[in-house]
Structure 1
């Protein structure tokens, strides 16, 4: 990676897991959310995705930027699970019964901190509400540090068919430094169990942690390649101690430089592409026969807060649990962040919506442009115009289409563009967030703080 590009473009920009980003959310109420849910029944994309947030962890990792909490007493956890079931019913009564579930995703926290039976009952509840598409994706984020063979087998029996295993690093000293428990089983044993039931396997890694070097991180990636997961992610650690105070512990230990982080990514990418993996978006790598690879090759890749998805599984997202964010065609809505408040609201028959955002018509267009670029590294202006039943001039007017700025980026070698399309270069891919921010009208003269790309 070119150090001059790092120096120029490694600046604060949004991650764009949503548009607008979550730090633009404002006060939002139950009535606004219900109205958005009802309108979602007539949206262009009729599929349904359910997201379940399990906030509990057996041990809190110092780097974590998720909405996570230490384990509580059994009765408090039971009250939270009961509230999840009640919230599901409160929302489901507004969703048309002729729609289909294409995706279910459990995140956290550590969803696998819950007993398998609890997760199975939640799946059964969700799947009783609506029919599904053929082979819906039912995914769960897994902390392997506390799971037995019986647990892995039970998760498969609970109908989970995609497992995202949070390895982060195979180096136990790195894990110790960030307060993360290593896998209880050999990864080979986990793979044997999951492969035996035909499940999809993702391995998740995090670079930029104390104790990591380009060589040591690449050693972990080489080990991962030998296991041959279907998908592998190399997330860049986002250091935001002004939001997540526990990250200050890592700052005291010493974090790798931006140059070392860039080299970690470069070496990892070289190893993965050399082993036949195809790069997807910012940080994902998949085998060539994976459906995400097919979607990328046809410029049909999508993304939500849960990660990359195809048009087959793409859906409007209805989120349940503390801090859960629903992503609908016209609005975002986020639940309460406090577990006691969440339980009290839902137990009283109220939806626990606290924040959200109602997108204007212009922002819905900008979202389509930025999500397309972030997922596919490519924008065909006429394709977007056709999908939205508008002309290309209206699309460009809805974003901050600045030819002078784009020309500068083209001179720097991070993109190519003309009137018809815009395409990231291979050297420019790590800076796709910068290009998206250039097209983002909300970034004009903004004073908001974001993490850096590298």
Structure 2
């Protein structure tokens, strides 16, 4: 990547894991609005259901963490929290059509594996007892390898999880010490041997842009991961947003890599993974050619929700449980309170614990579809979107901040190719797909929101 392009385009823009981004949610959206949105979602697309559970507890907080996480509290708080999750399920499920099918269940955090596997299994059973599933639904949990012994991995699989997402972040112990992260309790090669024997799908997640990381050290980490052949491998760019997560200020004292160094880490990891026959998917995923995500990307049919990248087979509206959980419905978002005790007390009182949310206008729904197509498939086909949305292509462009002069500048810089029918990212421009998406976002024309940089 040319330095002048890095200097020009490495500016704060939304990550677009949702549209509008979560920092546009507001507290004018309440529990009654959420109940109405839940019922309305039964008649909206997609028809499938994705359940998300947020487990906010960690044995130790990592300095880089941008999640809603808390040290494991003493006393009965964790038990009350798990009971509240079950009670929230009982508040939400009666509002959903029980003929709809579950396609995904996902646990995030925090560290969901703080909880015993049996408690995670009971939460799964609670929702699966009420709904049918698609064939081979994806039931996944994020795992912190620093606190799991051999039997713990076995128990997770026996509890019904068919995909484990392992937060390795880095194999370099100096890097892990610098960010206060516990390294894997047992060698990752041994973990993979256990999981392969149980025929479970494995993701490995890595983070680049951390203190003490270099292009060479991160390359060594990725080479070690490739040798273990996980099914999917993710290279997340560390988002430094200390105004939102003050704990990240600690890393400024240690020192963070420059944007140029981060770019080299990504490019080197990309090269290693492609040489090992992993295929790049979306913003940060790499998969095998036999992975359904690869097939979907080749067909221009890759999707994304708060669970991550998915296909038409598995994509669903997301119904979230737990603190800060975000439900992603056809025309609305609803986010739960971030305060653990407030969450528990509201649910125990029979109140949906919504703190804020957002109702999308028709124009915003159209923009969401355009940005999702670009972010997932590195292209927008206006005629295909027109057919999908039953809306003229001209009207779709008008709903966005489509500006040919702005697009021409991107094209002159080699980031995109475009004509009246399509916008297509070039291989060199993919690193800045967020910038192209932001150029189509009317909310970005006048905004005082803060975002992270692409690199």
TM-score by shorter chain over 0.5: yes
Shift of 1:447: 2.1
Distance 2:212 2:320 in 1: 36
Distance 2:20 2:45 in 1: 20
Distance 2:75 2:102 in 1: 31
- What residue is the counterpart of 1:15 in the other structure? 15
Shift of 1:198: 1.6
Shift of 1:436: 0.2
Q: List per-residue Cα deviations over 1:240-278 (Å, max 9, x = no partner).
A: 111111111100000000000000001000000011011
**Counterpart mapping for 1:84-233 below 5 A:** 84-233=85-234
Shift of 1:73: 2.0
Q: List per-residue Cα deviations over 1:396-433 (Å, max 9, x = no partner).
A: 11101100000000000000000111100011000000
Shift of 1:74: 4.3
Q: List per-residue Cα deviations over 1:344-365 (Å, max 9, x = no partner).
A: 0000000000100000000000
- What residue is the counterpart of 1:370 in the other structure? 371
Show structure 1 runs of 4+ deviating over 6 A: none
Distance 1:129 1:377 in 2: 38
Distance 1:320 1:74 in 2: 22
What's the Cα RMSD here? 0.7
The question of 1:52 aligning with 2:32 is answered: no
- What residue is the counterpart of 1:319 in the other structure? 320
Shift of 1:193: 1.6
Secondary structure, aligned partner of 2:204: strand
Distance 2:173 2:75 in 1: 30
Distance 2:446 2:318 in 1: 31
Structure 2: where are the runs of 5+ without partners? none
- What residue is the counterpart of 2:387 in the other structure? 386
- What residue is the counterpart of 2:290 in the other structure? 289
Shift of 1:194: 1.4
TM-score, length-scaled by structure 1: 0.99
Shift of 1:293: 0.3
Shift of 1:306: 2.0
Shift of 1:126: 1.5
Distance 2:92 2:62 in 1: 32
Distance 2:4 2:314 in 1: 39
Shift of 1:62: 0.2
Distance 1:58 1:306 in 2: 23
- What residue is the counterpart of 2:406 in the other structure? 405
**8 Å contact 2:102–2:134 — kept in the other structure?**
yes
Q: List per-residue Cα deviations over 1:69-95 (Å, max 9, x = no partner).
A: 000124110000000000011000000
Q: List per-residue Cα deviations over 1:106-156 (Å, max 9, x = no partner).
A: 000000011111111111112111000000000000000010111111110
Structure 1: where are the runs of 5+ without partners? none
Shift of 1:45: 1.4
**8 Å contact 2:45–2:317 — kept in the other structure?**
no
- What residue is the counterpart of 1:427 in the other structure? 428
Secondary structure, aligned partner of 1:397: helix
Which of 396-405 and 190-199 deviates more?
190-199
- What residue is the counterpart of 2:2 in the other structure? 2
Distance 1:74 1:417 in 2: 59
Secondary structure, aligned partner of 1:65: coil
Distance 1:13 1:200 in 2: 33
**8 Å contact 2:169–2:206 — kept in the other structure?**
yes
Q: How many residues align?
A: 454
